[in-house]
Chains A and B, each alone.
Chain A
Amino acid sequence: MGYREKHSVETHNNHAKPIKSAVDKFALLPEFLKVRGLVKQHIDSFNYFINNDIKKIMKTNDRIVCPQDPSLYLRYTKISIGKPLEYVEHATEELNPQLCRLSDRTYASPIKVDIEYTRPNQTNKEYKKDLVIGRMPIMLRSSKCVLSGKDEAELAKLGECPLDPGGYFIIKGNEKVILIQEQLSKNRIIIDTDSKGRVNASVTSSTHETKTKTVFFMDKDKIYLQLNQFSKPISIMIIMKAMGMENDQEVVQMLGRDPKYGFLLFPSMQECRSEKIITQKQALEYLQGKLANLSSLRFEINKDDRVKKILINVFLAHVPQAKDGNFRPKCIYTAVMLRRMMDAVLNVETFDDKDYVGNKRLELSGQLVALLFEDLFKTMNSQVASRMEKAYDKASRSTPLDFIHYMRSDTITNGLERAISTGNWDLKRFKMNRKGVSQVLSRLAFIATLGYMTRVSPQFEKTRKVSGPRALQPSQWGMLCPCDTPEGEGCGLTKNLALMTHVTTDEEEGPLIKWCRKLGVVDVEDLSGEELHAPDSFLVMLNGLILGKHTKPQKFANAMRKLRRKSVIGEFVSIFVHERQRCVYVASDGGRVCRPLVIADKGVSRIKEYHMKELRDGVRSFDDFVREGLIEYLDVNEENNALIALYEHEIHKDGHDEDNADGQKSFITHIEIEPFTILGVVAGLIPYPHHNQSPRNTYQCAMGKQAMGNIAYNQLSRADTLLYLLVYPQRPLLTTRTIELVGYDKLGAGQNATVAVMSYSGYDIEDAIVMNKSSLDRGFGRCIALKKQIVVKETYSNETSDRIVRPQNEPRKQALDADGIAAPGQIVRRHDILVNKQSPRNKRDRITNPMALKDCDYAPSNVSYKGPEGETTVVDRVMLYSDKDNKMCVKFIIRHVRRPEIGDKFSSRHGQKGVIGTIVQQEDFPFSERGICPDLIMNPHGFPSRMTIGKMIELLGSKAAVLSGRFHYGSAFGEPSGHADKVEDISRTLVEHGFNYSGKDLLYSGISGKPLQAYIFMGPIYYQKLKHMVLDKMHARASGPRMTLTRQPTEGRARDGGLRLGEMERDCLIAYGASMLIYERLMLSSDPYQVQVCSQCGLLGYYNHKLKTSWCSMCKSGDNMSSLKLPYACKLLFQELQSMNVVPRLKLTEY
């Protein structure tokens, strides 16, 4: 930072500047993350659902009426969500997340409603408060979560890690994330071409009531409407007529005066005329004939009404009716759509890009849970109604009709729980059938967890072979990370949010409309068709609806922006002037991605040094910056109206002649807060990513999630099915700002290894690395694998239950305590018994006294440890709890400490993975003149083709860090702003400490003792140990288990399977002519079987052991039997064929 000041002073000594130096805005970033958190999008969205959306849902479905008697009704008056708690046997128990994780419960709160309802023959209404209608899973760290607003000490008391971001749910003890879903914008006109190459305008309307899709397309110069409710495409003029626009001239006027539009519409008009449709009535009749027969029988009665209903409710459903019920707003909307479509026909450049981020909306957990809840709430209400209906019909009622009796809370509870735990959003009501919406939160590494929270899952299925949506969009800048995407099928489709991205939630439109009107937007209803597209005015659209027009769009937009900066309207409202479409788009809908930027007036930042000082002193928060109009959020569309500079001093830099510089300067409207925020959390770990070849950063993004390290502060009290922890994790010597912001320096996943880049021993080819044995002895790369095993003490239907008894002195029970459960700290091996459990022999029949069963009534049902053979593991923890069915459970956490061995996978932070090729004694390792001996040796051939210069700079930087005792930085694009140390400075530090500037040292060979013939590039590099370890993968078998059906060896490591000699290997053997080997592999080592074949009939006989003869049961004789060997699978095939009435006969000849 000191550097930066110097720089700008140097270059602009004689510039009359308002401020002396560019302000260091980095401090804003930690403040932003403090206020917003890393997963604020999720939490915001869930909070919005819980506080606002749920009320709206209730309000639209607030009445249940008894079908027979309309005076019997129930009305919801209030809905709220309480604190997370559970009802256990008529008592309430407060829940906290850690409790739920450990005891496999759901972290959920009761949904409480206030209701008023009537009872038959009673005039006064009944009121009931706080009736529980179900349990809502609560997102961690949301406003209803017990963790919200807690400080570090309080979190520790609750057993929670302060660095855990929250934003996920706990369902039956499993942590589930609802992934961000990417979707095409709702309620917006998208001009595109369809598969047949036809120009196509479509709108997906989405309101609280319905979701429909309206498509216009142009076929053979004529324009048609396509709607699911009509069996055939309908000419657009007929629709216009059906909506009351009987006059063709009016339609043309609405499209605009330019004759080119009229020409394009002419064929459609002709078609309409040839169908002899002139009046509205004729059009409606014509449409009736075109109705699709989708379940139409039910509404047969009033066909005429149906067409109108479709026009009202399905056709452009989001456009509301005019107050007097006419179709004028829809006509105008249609005209605008047609006009845009015709523009596209005339000018190819006006097509919309579906992959453009501004045309996308991100659906967050709040919206998804809202959909789910709405569906379940409606289901519950209809269930109540139908139960009421049934009860009403029942003649004899012992109890009076009461709505309360028919309210069940399990519909909503179970529905929510099931959907979130399986990830299947199957909502028939909204025609939604999505799988994999929620996923288990990966706790493999801290970074993996964060990565999950920012993941955006794609709208398309991954198998599609398309390149467009996979490509990096320029509009992703600053919103979606350019590096973090998986390899393979999901490449480019699955994305991740960038560091400062915010996703908006819905905002009220009412005040916005009011302000628009005040600022001179002329209402559409007051305009004639012709005025609509007057050349001097722009249309104003609000969330896809036509609000009106404005003659001075720029002025209007500026005024609106001023209002936003003054916090009169919401901070996330976007105002975007689209010059080409002659529209001003105002958007306040949810799911838009946006990011904060510093506002600049003619290139001069509004943030001054005193603002930052106030921030540092803690008097000013990030929100103050937004409130005072120093920073604002821009969404992707509005970014198009902005000119954003990277740095303030950058503005002056290029302009060598003053005039030009000033000219350029004056157009700049915004300044980036920090350029490295275009990367996401996961890519932020990479030091100097801007020096690497781009795919390497992508690879590291995938691998960082597999690195072992610390998971959370509460990692040792967690009970995950599989957990890998590093014994001595370190924070990287070469850090980045992102690392510090997300807390990777506190929960590191790697170690700073001293690396020598040289070839050694030949066991380092193909990315293998050579390890120093002494380093391993001293704890490098050592890790703990924790596995979970659960034992349930079952209870049976006859009220008997399992029992756990004190062990006698028996083999395999040495780990057991006196209580019959393995004790913590005991060493267990495969098949050792963990719980000395016995089950009753009689589990079904009723037993008079289940407590008085004798010892002989129990049979042992011990539970043994199911680990791999040969591993010496230790019982780490034993936890006893009762599950939701009140059965006693025992959770064992079994620990295995591993030291690295040949074949274990390691990786640096630059997508450079490798396995240990050999482990070498320290005395054989090279050593430097200062006695430094590397921890690992990496082959230099890893560099030229990978071009990971960042790794080399990391080595230099880490070396300088070690020597100077100061952590060095390598943030992306950080050199100009001082967030990355420059190689020059690093080299200077190295030289100051007596090292070569390039990091290359003289090394002596540990074997010969003589100096090596080259200087060796040596220094520390942060190495990650990846979860792939040989111990989990190695597998060999001589003979072993076989499948019962085919008697062939089993498959797979888990079943101790054989190694298959596949068809290609077989081909090789055939080609080589190794017939005996083929015979041995395919027959003798697989499934040989001795059969008796009758040479008479060719069928299989059998060998009678009593008579010691073979017998053919077909010929009823044993005369012509011969014995031969064939694969059991072959014999099986013959028998299966026989069972299908196909007779395979073997023809035998003497050989």
Chain B
Amino acid sequence: MSVYLDYNATTPLDRRVLDSMMPFLCEQFGNASSGHQSGRIARAATDVAREQVAALVNAHPSQVIFTSGGTEANNLALKGCAARLTPGHIILSGVEHSSVRSPANVLKKYGWRLDEIGVDADGRLAIENLRAIFSGISADRAKILAVMLANNETGIVYDIAPIAALARDFGALLLVDAVQAAGKIPVDFTHSGAQLMSLSAHKIYGPKGVGALIVDKAVDMEPMLQGGGQEKARRAGTENVAAIVGFGKAAELALSELSTRHAQTQTLHHYLEARLRSELPQVCIFGQQAARLPNTSFFALPGLDGETLLMSLDRAGLAVSSGSACGTGDVEPSHVLLAMGVSPEHARGAIRVSLGKESRRDEIDSFIDCLKQQVHVLQRFAAVAYA
């Protein structure tokens, strides 16, 4: 048995997306910057993809910069803007992804001050905290604010409108990391009040290795990659044509199927959490009072070690995670949970289940059944150990 419940880490490629990519992987292999016919065919295809990606988040195609993924998009947004400003303040929510936190930390070296907005126990952003931070910074200092639209671990959705209003009042640039939100809930760049928004293809059934930064034209930004002048000199490097085309198709499908996918996963999500609560009453679902994505449950079972549990689940063919998939393989407790005031021991036992459009009810049944069984076994061991 093999059950994949880790769609927030990555998604399988949609068959229709693969079909759209195939010509550009094989026959239409031209370099989109070449002047001859094969180059022009590639260029035309990336133009269509740009429109499709723009449409998913209600942006203008000219605002789309294709990147190698969400991480590069976030890096480009923060470092690109910072490079054109006199160092001031970067303000982040306490639950941002490492691809936002890490470059923000690096910018400290260049004289930028870093402030964090706290979240409450349910993961909700303390908006008054943000106002206080802004009020404490003199008006002439540059300010860059980064708040994600939906958290990758808890699935909590942040209400960007009041944040954007504050950012506007205090003259801050706003970056919204929409990597996890896009394709799961409606996203509207134009009306969000944000100047920058990052996206990733492989979270919406598109290929890995491609993402986008949506940028308001008024934003002055330095490119991170210098070279052939691609992407209107904002991101050099030969266009990854097949991946960009796949991203476009994935975005088109995500938009046209948004409500069906939403409804479908939400039903399963409700079912999952109902069974969890009734059959494992000790379960603690993080952020359950907050607005959340219709696919993500991040929870802990007190007294159980998450790593051991994950290992046993994996042996039983169930793929879930302990939070974010990052490069170092460390087993630090989730910084998102710590920001929410969860104790390190409790956070260490956390398990994230993230559903996708391929998820089925029987997979959730398998998961719950297996989880109950493992919990039972582990509690017996624990009881023996304590005896």
Q: Do A and B come from one complex?
A: no
A residues bordering B, Cβ < 8 Å?
Answer: none
